[in-house]
Amino acid sequence: MAKSASFHILTENDDRMEKLIITPKTRIYDLLEAYPQLEDVLIDAAPPFKKLKNPVLRKTVTKITTLSQAAVIGDLKVEALVNRLRSMVGQSDVESFDSGSSHYVTLKPSWFQEHQIAEVIDIRTMLNAGDQPVHEVLAAMKRLDTNQILMVVAPFIPVPLIDKSLSINCQHWVEVKGDEEVNVYFIVV
């Protein structure tokens, strides 16, 4: 019985030693699994993070969204967000990161012509149903002909989706319409 008790103590210590190190590439889901107390810190950091309270979005979007991407969604500096979270769990601040973040186009590009919109996908419905829209949207992008535009309507800037689109040579334009509506236009180059 003494062996069992000491094994339990070692396991408990090992679990704490293996806690997640918070970086810009940390996925929100992993962060909240390791440190559930950070949910309120995230929500306080930016209004869009209130959507973490929605269990469906929390189950779907958080699994693919990194802190670097979340910083873009929340209009925050990635270093400030990551260091704030790190300090709350006793990890030291890091002065600079390779966040791997991409550039998101928010100024209307010359290629955009409204009459060239070939398809509109409203991912708000999919997200609210607990579905991942990534595959459907990527398939729609691949179906685009030259000069055709895909319009995606989202409840926030869908940074993981935009990042995926870059890997298939799509250009994009992000148009924020309001707190719950963001239009992203994609064209294949």
Model confidence over 87-134: pLDDT tens digits?
999 988 876 665 555 577 888 999 999 999 999 999 998 888 888 898
Query: Per-residue pLDDT averaged across 163-175, rounded?
Result: 89
DSSP labels for 93-140? P-S-----PPP---SPPTT--GGGEEEEEEHHHHHHTT---HHHHHHH
What is the second-level CATH architecture of the domain 2-88?
Orthogonal Bundle (1.10)
Can you tell me whether residue 175 is helix, strand or coil?
A: strand
| Helix-helix angle 38-45:78-88, to 10 degrees | 150
**Residue-wise pLDDT tens digits, 74-88:** 888 888 999 999 999
Q: Give the residue extent of every domain in the chain.
A: 2-88, 114-188
Please tell me the pTM assigned to this model: 0.63
Q: At the topology level of CATH, where does 114-188 sit?
A: Translation Initiation Factor IF3 (3.30.110)
